[in-house]
Amino acid sequence: MNGTRITEAARAGFDACLAAADEDAAIDLAVGLVASGVSAEDVLLRLVAPAQLKVGELWASGEWTVAQEHAATHVSSRTVDEVASAARATARPPAGSGAQGRVLVACSDGEWHVLPARILTEVLRLRGFDVRSLGGSVPPDGILSDVHRNGPDVVALSCTLPWNLPLAYRQIETCRWAGVPVIAGGSGFGPAGAWAYALGADLYAADARDAAEALLHRWPPVLRGESSVGADAVEAYAMLVRQRPALLEYLASALRDVCPGLGGSSGTEQEEGTGFLGRLLDSLAAAVFVDDERVFTRHLAFVRTYLAARSADSRCLLAMTDALAGRLNESPRALDKLSAGRRFLTGQEDGSGSRG
Ligand code: B12
What CATH number has the domain spanning 94-229? 3.40.50.280
Across residues 126-131, what is the average pLDDT?
95
CA gap 16, 9 in Å, rounded: 10
Residues with CB under 6 A from ligand 1: 45, 49, 52-53, 55-57, 59-60, 69-70, 73, 77, 110-117, 119-120, 156-158, 160-162, 183-187, 205, 207-208, 211, 299, 302
For the chain, give every domain's residue range. 1-91, 94-229, 231-345
- Confidence grade of residue 356 (pLDDT, cut at 50, 70, 90): very low
Higher confidence at residue 334 or residue 273?
A: 334
Rg, Å, the chain Cα set: 22
pLDDT of residue 81: 97
* 4 vs 284, more confident: 284
- The ligand 1 atom at the shortest distance from the C-alpha of residue 305 is 90
Residue ID of nearest Cα to ligand 1 atom 28? 116
Per-residue pLDDT, averaged over 126-135, amounts to 96
Quote the ligand 1 centre to 160 CA distance (angstroms): 5
Give the pLDDT band (50/70/90) at residue 306. Answer: confident
Q: Does 150 score more than 50 pLDDT?
A: yes
Minimum CA distance residue for ligand 1 atom 90: 60
Residue 182 and residue 175 in contact, taking contact as beta carbons nearer than 8 Å: yes
Which has more confidence, 287 or 3? 287
The residue type found at 185 is G
Superfamily of domain 231-345: Phycocyanins (1.10.490.20)
Domain 1-91: what homologous superfamily?
Methionine synthase domain (1.10.1240.10)
Task: Count, in order, helices (H) and strands (E) of the chain.
Answer: 15, 5
